[in-house]
Structures are given as C-alpha cells and as structure tokens.
Chain A
C-alpha cells in the first residue's frame, strides 16, 4: 500500500453550540475515490470544507502529503502555501458551476487561469493546452472563446472540471458535481469523471446525497448522520450489505425511488 495522500484525524467543528461534525477520522490513498454520503444537515458539507482547508476545525488535524513527500498539517501551512496548493495540486468542483468558474471570462481563459497563476507566459502554449482540455472534457474546441454563460449546465460542469485538472492535481474535492442536472446529462458527466479519474489516477473526495453517484464513482463510502460517521467501508459492501439501520434506510429509499 502507498503512503496515504490525506490523513484526517479527530476532526470536529461546531457553530455556536450547534454541531457541524465530530470525531471524523479517515485516510485517503493516492488514486482513491471516497464518497461522503448523507442527507442535508448530516455534516458532509462541513466536513468537505474542513478537509479542503476552507474552514478551520475546532479539533483534529488534516495532513496532506506534499509533492516532496512530506506529510503536512494543512493548518500549519501559510496562507500563501495553502492557496498555492489549492490551485495547483488540488481541485475543487462546485455543484453550482458559477462558484467555480469566472463567468465573465472565456472558456479558454477559465482553463488557462491556473497556468498563468503558476507563471506560464506563452499565449500560444496556454491556448493549445486549453484546446486540448476542451476536447478531453468533450466540449467542441471551437467554443474556446465563448463564455460559460453560453454553455449548457452539463458543459459548464465539464468546463469546471477542465479548469481544475489543467495543473495535474492529485486530489480533487467534488461537492454534488451532478446535482441539479438532468438524468441523461448526469450520466454523461459521471462517465466522463469516471474516465478522467481512472486515466489520471486522481484521488477524489466526493460529497453527495445521491447513492447512485457514490456507487458509480467511489471505492469507499463514509455514511454521515447528525455530524458523525456512522458507517464506513468499501462502496459495494456498504451499499449491498449495510450494517447500520440508517444506512439500510438510505439504501432502501434509493431502491424504492
């Protein structure tokens, strides 16, 4: 087994007495896809914000293996280091593409931003990379100068993915990436994500309320309820043979739907 990419230990966060999440621990291996599932209010979004460094925890630690091999607590990083990490070695795919894209900037500019952020200063090369990424996320490269507002919901999500992957990150956080999309659009997006994750060996922390999405994309699942992880394990095991009554309920409600 590899050295873990992400180590989460004893994370807890409350908001003025109301619990966000508590006592969350897990590790993530390189190339592994972990789904955090639960209903709204279960604490899964709080957890995602904690481990992606966007929210400071009350307790616990989030350690990330940097490209130099050192495991570092992300809370000990300077703001400059954390922001650099977030736009190079990490990606973040938001449910609402408007939060993850610059809507006033062309598709090419959106994809190129991270490259320019790390010092690329050759327009022609940046554009070539953007064209290539549009193709990889199945957007017609002829649309490179169009703005995201001219794209469909599914295309915007695919553009958001391309914008994140252009720096070859090793870890991508995804917050309900297929939420709000039509079923057929969802299916195509899931196929694309699954293909890219496998091809690039990405580690992913995926937050979703949709067990079908978790089943299709993830290797392992954490089930959250009331801020706690109540069940964890390999995806097939948890979904085919849930141990906790709550998980059984979640699974059966999907089957009934």
Chain B
C-alpha cells in the first residue's frame, strides 16, 4: 500500500464496497448485452460533486483491478483539475498505477473526448455522461421516451436534426451527436465532439458510459456498428480542421483554440495532449512549435 493510500485506510479497494461494485457490474453486463440500451442503476454518493463525473468514477471503480493502469482525461488533457483529481482519487483509494500514455492504459476514463490513438481490444474507455437520454430535448416525459426506445420509434431524433437544418441550413449539432448502436438503440455519446463519432464505430475497446446524477449505465461492446444519424441529402460529416496543429503539425487530430497572449494572439493545438506530446517527441514540429530534442542527441 502506498503512502497516499494510507490516507484512505478504512475504505474498500477503489472506494466502493464489494456489494455496490457487484450491483454496478451487473448493470454493466446487462448494458454490454444490450448495446446502446440505458440500464438503470442505484448510483451512489461519491466524494465529489455531480458534474465531476461521478457516473464514470463509479463505473471505473467497479471494473478496476490492482493490475490495471489508469489514464484520466478531461477535454483530451491529462492535466486539468477534473482529470487530476479523479486520477488522484484512484491512486489513493486503489493504489493503481496511472499513466498519461494512451497505449499503456488498460482503462481510460474520459470527459468530452476520445483519444486520437486507435484504442485496442485490451482497453476499456469509460465516459462521464451528464445527460444520457438523447430524446430528452423533444420529449421530456420519461415514460414516453422509454416506450420510444422499447419500440425503436426514433422519428423524433430526425425531427431534431430537421429543425437544425431548417434553422441553420445544416445539422448544427457538433457535440453529443446522436448515434444508432448495432442497428437498434439510439444513444447519446456524451458531449464528445462529433469529430470523435467515427472512432466509436467498430472500436476494439469496450466503451462504457456512466451517468451518475441520472443513474444510467450503457455500453458499446468491442467491434460494434455505430452510425451517426443523418439525412440522405444532409449526410453526417465529422468536423474538419483547415490548419494543422501549431505545435506538432498534426492534420488529423481535434484542435482546441488557445489564447497565447493578451494581444489577441491565438493558435490551434491538439486537444489530446498526450497525442501532441508523443508526436513532438517523434520529431514532428508545427508552425509555432519548437523541436523537442532528446538529451542524448543534444549533447552531440
């Protein structure tokens, strides 16, 4: 047991008691068995406020083992307050190894992004979900949305997209863009950018979604068809960036706008910080980046 884990002495491994974990695992198994279906679960109070990913934290706690290597990202970054505090929570309560390297992690808990590196079969991606119900926007009655899911009555999702096109001339939804999972359930992918939607399709990793306040868990099993909803004459299009990352020159990653000074200076950089760093370590340099030279080579 590490020194920090001492502080949490008296807590069970990964904070939750075994009975609660079993209950959550049962919900997860059901969710995997019915891809895209929202399984209710008895969400527990966690030592952090809702909105800080309590749903994702409970899912991670339920599947975490001592040999797992955990990565936590928020908006693609490992170093935001939210990501750091969740990572520290599991370092303290489970004493597990953590990493910022996507390829090394066995479990990745995320808010708002899917890593750029293609996830593999041995990995689990755990999403923090604020609003699990994709039909909520147009149909506030839960009894009705449940029936709509049960009967696969999803015309309303297209009404929502229709309204977007009527108002903006195109489907304006750029985050939490609805998908059809395994040709059956319409699912909210949580507020990831639609740029990430294609990564959910046929992913090797198991994808688990936890909504704490709304008490729902859902899943996409590995190698499952995930299709973004659209119209024949307004097909789904992932966001495309016209310029490369200013630091690593990547052309195919999701970019965030960063203000560089108080004179209106700005640049676009990878939101996946690990992706950007590893590209720079490989020698890729963007327009505003500086080469990262390994120490041994610098000495020559």
| Residues of A that sit less than 8 Å from B by CB | 79-80, 83, 102, 104-106, 108-109, 112-114, 116-118, 121-124, 126-127, 144-145
Are B153 and A83 in touch, CB under 8 angstroms? yes
Least CB distance, B171 to chain A, in whole angstroms: 9
Q: Does B266 contact A (CB under 8 A)?
A: no
The chain B residue with its CB closest to the CB of A81 is: B151
A127 CA to B166 CA in the complex, in Å? 9
Chain A residues with CB below 8 A from B151, complex form: 79-80, 83
CB distance from B170 to the nearest CB of A (A): 10
The bracket for how many chain B residues form the interface is 10 to 19
Contact status of A104 and B138, CB under 8 A, knowing A122-B231, A122-B233: yes
Q: Is the CB of A113 within 8 A of B155?
A: yes
Give the complex CA separation of A78 and B155 in angstroms: 19
Which chain B residue has the least Cβ–Cβ distance from A119?
A: B155
Distance A123 CA – B166 CA, assembled complex (angstroms):
9
Cβ-defined contact, B155 with A145, below 8 A? no
Contact assessment for B233 and A105 in the assembled complex, using a CB-CB cutoff below 8 Å: no
Whether A109 touches B163, Cβ cut-off 8 Å, given contacts A102-B138, A104-B138, A116-B155, is: yes
A114–B162 Cα distance when bound, in Å, is: 13
11 A-B interface contacts by CB (under 8 A): A83-B153, A105-B163, A108-B166, A109-B159, A109-B162, A116-B155, A121-B230, A122-B231, A122-B233, A123-B234, A126-B162
Pick from A79, A113, A117, A145: contact of B166, CB below 8 A: A145
Distance in Å: Cβ of A76 to nearest Cβ of chain B: 17
A-B pair count, CB < 8 Å, reads: 55
- A27 → B minimal CB distance (Å): 30
Decide: A105 near B231, CB < 8 A? Known: A79-B151, A145-B166.
no
| Contact B162–A112 (Cβ < 8 Å) | yes
Residues of A within 8 A of B147 (CB): 79, 83
- The chain B residue sitting closest to A147, CB to CB, is B163
CB-based contact B167/A112 at 8 Å: no
How far is the CB of A160 from the nearest CB of chain B, in Å?
16
B153 touches A123 (CB 8 A): no
Return chain B residues, CB-CB under 8 Å to A102: 138, 159
Contact status A117-B153, CB under 8 Å: yes
Query: Please, which residues of chain A bring their CB within 8 A of the CB of B233?
Result: 122-124
B158 interface residue per 8 A CB criterion = yes
A-binding residues in B (CB < 8 A): 138, 147, 151, 153, 155-156, 158-159, 162-163, 165-167, 230-234
Which residues does chain A contribute within 8 Å of B165, judged by CB atoms? 123
6 residue pairs, one from A and one from B, having the closest CB atoms: A117-B155, A116-B158, A116-B155, A123-B231, A80-B151, A122-B232
B contact residues around A106 at 8 Å (CB)? 163, 166-167
Q: Closest CB of chain B to A131's CB: distance in Å?
A: 12
Known: A112-B159, A116-B155, A118-B155. A105 touches B234 (CB 8 A): no
Kindly list chain B residues whose C-beta atoms are within 8 Å of the C-beta of A112.
159, 162
Shortest distance from the beta carbon of A16 to any chain B beta carbon, whole Å? 23
Given A116-B159, A144-B166, 5 extra CB contacts under 8 A? A109-B159, A109-B162, A109-B166, A123-B234, A124-B233
Q: Is the CB of B167 within 8 A of A145?
A: yes
CB nearest neighbor in B for A124: B233
Q: How far is the CA of A145 from the CA of B163 in the complex (A)?
A: 8
Candidates B138, B156, B162, B167; contact of A123 at CB < 8 Å: B162
Would you give the shortest CB distance from B84 to chain A, in whole angstroms?
40
Given contact pairs A109-B166, A123-B162, A114 touches B155 in the complex (Cβ within 8 A) = yes
CA distance A83 to B153 in the complex (A): 9
B148 to chain A, nearest CB (A): 9
Docked CA distance A124–B162 (Å): 10
Instruction: Choose among A102, A116, A126, A144 the residue with the greatest number of B CB atoms under 10 Å from its CB.
Output: A116
Complex: A80 Cα to B234 Cα, angstroms:
29
**CB pair A105 B159 closer than 8 Å:** yes
Residue of B nearest to A114 (CB): B155
**What residue in chain A is nearest B162 (Cβ atoms)?**
A109
Complex Cα spacing A117 to B151, Å: 12
What CA separation (Å) do A117 and B153 show in the bound complex?
7
How many whole Å from B144's CB to the nearest CB in chain A? 11
CA distance A117 to B139 in the complex (A): 14
Neighbour of B231 across the interface among A114, A121, A144, A145, CB < 8 A: A121
Whole-angstrom distance between the alpha carbons of A83 and B147 in the complex?
10
CA distance A109 to B231 in the complex (A): 14
A123 to B159, CA, bound (A): 10
Closest to A78 in B: B151
CA distance A114 to B156 in the complex (A): 9
CA distance A232 to B155 in the complex (A): 40
Cα-based distance from A127 to B156 in the complex (angstroms): 16
Chain B nearest CB: distance from A103 CB in Å? 11
Closest-by-CB residue of B relative to A144 is: B166
Question: Whole-angstrom distance from the CB of A86 to the nearest CB of chain B?
Answer: 11
Interface centre among B147, B153, B163, by most A CB within 10 Å? B163
What residues on B are CB-neighbors of A80 within 8 Å?
A: 151
